[in-house]
Structure 1
Amino acid sequence: MGRRWSSFTVPAEGISGGLILLWKTAVGYVDVVTVSRYAAHMVVSSKEGETWLMTAVYASNQLEQQKLLWEELVGLGNLGLPWLVGGDFNAILAVEEKRSRATVTLGPKSSNFAKFVEEAGVCDLGYEGVPFTWCNNQSGDNRIWVRLDRALANPEWVRMFPGSRVLHLDRSSSDHAPLLVQAQGTPERRRRPFRFELYWMEYKECRDIIARSWRGTAHGNPMHGFNHKIMNMQRYLGLWSKAGLGCLETEMKAVRMEIQRLEERDAREELDAADFTNLRCCYNRRAALSRQINLKWLQRSRLKWVQEGDRNTHFFHLTTTLRGRRNKIQRLRSKEGEWTQDQEHIAKEFLEHYEELWGPNTAERWELP
């Protein structure tokens, strides 16, 4: 490979396991600090001055071996360093990450993997490309696709590389697709921030997603558990809104045109039962859309101060600083009436409150008349 490349190898045991690490010397200094059978950990110091931790993973397919690996990785997550961990985890987090003829369910491997993600305080960096990274290369009903490979990172690493991307590349001679992680300090384009729309609460699907996000037991640090559930809720609400909701104004225009068509026909001749029912449904949908559009623009009007502040840099920074001071929770009174200043106890109270708020009886409480 020449002087421009360096490498490190974790030997395989038989025909399983094994890792090969390759890097260009031009990227900076890479120090492999510790290795185990299924992971290699290295400190990367770039010439630009960034220093962060990277872990390459090739997880076993055996449940007990996976448990030991997750315990090893959780310890690294508690170091507080910017951390990227990627590779073949041999587990999935959602049923959508596997496609096969048989019914897909989440077993103990998925539960343990999800517990590790939560306790380590990392998040999935997502991907671009084909949604699956592994295929059994069989045909017909026996063909199986799974997302076994991914890249995870903690908030410190994401802040260091806010423009990072993960690409699923084409499979060639392997049953796995290569992952390309592009660590970029500045995003190529400004991503639209997640914004919860008030009118979403009128949809049962939205309330169900929120309820599912808050159910289940949080493991490890309460703040990690709280953040993990918030991130999951944002992700699934975003996917739902893109797939199931369109532009309110566009739909309103279409509904009004349909009402006009039916009313003009009703003026010329009596509508039959089907058209009359359709007209009543259009009236109801117009009323619902009008209410949702009003909620949408009411919410926008409350954010106008951000736009005004952005035109005045001093005002923007001052108000942001003051809001940050006001928003910091110094102490909290528990359900028992006792005050606490311990940040871990405060996080636990928040977590328990929202788990109770969105518990099993949520649907009954939020059912609209």
Structure 2
Amino acid sequence: MKLLLIIRMLLRGRRRFWKTCAAGTLLLRLSMFNILCWNCRGARKKETRFYLRHLIGTHNASFVGLMETKLEKIYRKDVDRFAGRDWEFEYQPSIGRAGGILVLWRSSCFSFQISFKAEQCLMGKITRANGSSWDVAVVYASKNRCIRRTMWEDISTRRDQRLPLLVGGDFNCILCQEDKKGGRPFLSTPATCDMAEFMVTNDLVDPGFVGPAFTWTNNKDARSKIFFRQDRFLVSSDILDRFQDLRVEHLTRLVSDHCPILCRVQEVSKRTYSPWIRFEDVWLSFPQACHLVMEKWTVADFGSEAAQLQRKCNRTLKALFFWSKEKFRRLSQLRAELDTEVRTLQELEGKLHGLNSVQTESLRFKVQLLNSTLARIMTWWR
């Protein structure tokens, strides 16, 4: 343990890097325009933060809309914990513990200029490096039809008619029977007609989705369980014409009773090589890391004291790097397997006959295990 602490001190801080010619990290950098929306039911929960960072990292989101944050004030340090330091933000405060919208975007990917904020909507213009611009609205619609109508009107009148429009979030409204399972049968209401009229007026279409059929559940027992698809993306038809491979995904429902939804727009990959290894504070919590350091540090060396110290640090960090990489790989593999199993069960849950008691218990257990695995992964600096 003392040797590990000495190595960290030599590197002058836990986030400093130690360069070595012996090993490196192959990084995959993705240039894309992926939009993530999620009703997180409370943004300050630790589990929400872990899952959000996982979603951003796994799906390479560059724009995030969080609904029902339940936060009256959001500070820079909060955003650093949610997403990281390279993210900018705007927010609509909650009213007490109700509502709230937070929008995050990568400043390195594009700019986002707010044009309108209200209790149900936060809207602005995205301008990308290539000069193209979109209007984007993140919505958390009221359950009250009359209040919700003001949101439709605000978006319709305040959008730039010359720009494509994308609207995403929790609409608290469904359009047809296929958007619901359980409870009373679906009936077309004036609220449904309002939403349909809004789509027609703004030339918006539902691009469909892959993944679980429903985005919200009341989490009750099998007989009383109800599912809705009330979270969705609506996009201008000219966006679909330009990006014909655009795809919407319903992701694994975790932490909240809402699924995160992801709109994939574009993807270009680029590989770069980094010759740096960084010291990870989490190594201090593993006895195996201490034994590994002792083993590598006590190897006989030659030359001056400075040269010996350099070789010992290089050799020890290289060994720690590959040990840590393998351990992280195993955790990532477990996370991917659990995520697939949970999503499969949630898709089955949304079908006609749902889950039996064994599958329900299995889903509950796997969700808890996935949460704990994400918490362990987030202790690694990536």
Q: TM-score w.r.t. structure 2 length? A: 0.46
| Structure showing greater relative contact order (alpha-carbon pairs closer than 8 Å, 6 or more residues apart) | 2
Bigger proportion of residues as strand: 2
Indicate the structure (1 or 2) with the bigger Cα radius of gyration.
1
